[in-house]
Amino acid sequence: MFHVKHSSPHILLINPWITDFAAYNLWIKPLGLLYITSFLRNKGFQVTLIDCLDFTIKIKRYGDGKFIKTKIEKPLPLKSIPRNYSQYGIPEEILLKRLSLLEEPDLICVTSWMTYWYPGVFKIIEITRKFFKKVPIILGGIYANLCYDHAKKHSGVDIVFNGRGELEILKLVSELTHFELKIENSGLEIGDLPYPPAFDLYPQLNFVCITTSRGCPFRCTYCASPFLSKGFSRRDPVKVVEEIEYWTSQYHINNIAFYDDALLVEPSKHFTPIMKEVIKKGIHCNFHTPNAIHIKEIDEGVAELLFHGGFKTIRLGLETSNETKQIETGGKVDNQAFREAIKQLKRAGYSGKEIGVYIMVGLPGQRVGEVEESIVFVKEAGAKPILVEYSPIPHTPLFEKAKKMSQFDLEDEPLFHNNSILPCQWEGFTMEDYRKLKEKLRRN
């Protein structure tokens, strides 16, 4: 795909801290950055990876766990929020020591996640700039794409990258380092991703994450997947199984989280052949679906493959039992399909408490009663409701409505996208209402 022609530059790649009121390591790894790292390394670049989130304490049986956290001062826009604000991940003194031992890189690449986590991104940029004053810095990732103007104005980097896919970033790295790469094809598809991503650079691995597809065929009004990814494409099931086998046999990994937005779409063409081969090969691993799986695709066969294939963390994306709201937000699910999915999952062997169902709270104009009805509906179906606070995301259809409903300046200040502050609370659904909902759910 690429032919290296000159001696190799040194690239420093950084995954920043999380800065928030709360954070939990639910199989978080910077998969996009790890693919880029693997590409660069495969093409002759020297690479150094610093993942500020690779510092988890109290690791649980499935590899998830709590980040170490350091209480920090709240950003000015969030001063009125009566909660502690923390920096999650590696202690700053350890980071500074690592940077001090590094040979000066030729280029620094920083990724980003949630839009409202940008204070941690900015702090990393400021620190690395002090260490390597003349080294160009590129900022990419979710925040950089969704809040491009904000990042360009405030981040202090040389280039904010808001392109699509690995090919464009590789071209940019080539230009900035004067390291010529001959490109033989017009683009990189999901099937061209380097195998494997650079998880081997971590000193210890409690889990890995994989993606078998890119994008999503659905158009949920609260989700930015259509903006962040062009179309929907999938990897060859054979290659997916090879990667799963690689991690479980070579690195003895027991936990793998799927990062797909649409793992179960057309299961006969994708999920079913993957899991049948995993079972046939006798691969034993705990699989997890933190991004949720599509309810309408769970029939008897899929449920059996989920259970016998080793899926331990089942998360379903119901969002609401209100049928009008289901249609308004994208129509990806209906209540009858949900009941049938729960029935099949239980028949396959799952208990109700093992089937977690996401219910969104704080949607623009949402009533407390709607959430209460959804909780009752999920419990009556025999599953476990999990409340998920709505975060307004730029470039989504619902964002415009959120701006009109919110008391916060969502347009100009990404900190107000933070789901912890319930950005679209109103007289029909206040923070106090939400606290009561959570407390009632905990008691029951």
What would the 3-class secondary structure string for 82-102 be? CCCEEEECCCHHHHHHHHHCC
Question: 177-216 burial string, b = 16+ CB within 10 Å, else e?
Answer: bebebeeeeeebebeebbebbbbebeeebbbbbbbbbbbb
Domain(s) of CATH 3.40.50.2300: residues in the chain: 2-183
Please write the tens of the pLDDT for every residue from 234-252.
999 999 999 999 999 999 9
> Tens of pLDDT along 66-89?
999 999 999 999 999 999 999 999
How distant, in Å, are the alpha carbons of 6, 17, 53, 238, 349 from that of 278?
A: 41, 35, 30, 10, 19
pLDDT > 50? residue 428: yes
> pTM of the predicted model, to two decimals?
0.94
Q: Mind giving me the DSSP string for 372-384? A: HHHHHHHHHHT-E
Q: Which of 23, 13, 122 is nearest to 70 (CA)?
A: 23
Q: Which residues pair with 159 in a beta bridge?
A: 138
Angle between helices 300-309 and 271-280 (to 10 degrees): 40
Structure tokens given for 268: 């006969």
CA dist 210 and 208 (Å) reads 7
Residue 442: the pLDDT is 87
Please give the Cα distance from 262 to 314 (Å, whole number): 14
pLDDT at position 188 is: 55
pLDDT of 358 > 80? The answer is yes
- The side-by-side arrangement of strands in the sheet containing 18-20 is 18-20, 85-88, 69-72
Which residues lie across from 166 on neighbouring strands? none
Instruction: Provide, rounded to the nearest whole percent, the portion of the chain with pLDDT above 70.
Output: 95
Give the CATH number of domain 207-443.
3.20.20.70
> Scanning the structure block, which residue is given the tokens 């290296």?
4
DSSP 220-289: -TT--HHHHSSS-EE--HHHHHHHHHHHHHHS---EEEE--SSTTSSGGGTHHHHHHHHHHTT---EEE-
Q: Name the CATH code of domain 2-183 (choices 3.50.50.60, 3.40.50.2300, 3.30.565.10, 3.40.50.720).
A: 3.40.50.2300
**Amino acid, single-letter form, for residue 65:** G
Query: What local confidence, expressed as pLDDT, does residue 294 receive?
Result: 94
Q: For position 151, what pLDDT does the model report?
A: 98
Using pLDDT thresholds of 50, 70 and 90, give the confidence band for residue 168. Answer: confident
Q: Is 431 exposed, middle or buried (0-12, 13-18, 19+ CB in 10 A)?
A: middle
Distance (Å, rounded) from C-alpha 115 to C-alpha 145?
Answer: 9
The percent of residues in the chain predicted with pLDDT above 90, rounded, is: 84
User: 3-state class of 159 per DSSP?
Assistant: strand
The pLDDT score that the predictor gives to residue 2 is: 37
Q: What value does the mean pLDDT take over residues 178-189? A: 64
Please, which residues have CB within 8 angstroms of residue 60's CB and are 6 or more apart in sequence?
none
* Cross-strand bridge partners of residue 278: none
Q: Cα separation of 30 and 208, whole Å?
A: 10
Residues of the chain with CATH 3.20.20.70: 207-443
Structure tokens that stand for 369 in this block: 């009663």
Burial-class residue 166 by CB neighbours within 10 Å (0-12, 13-18, 19+): buried
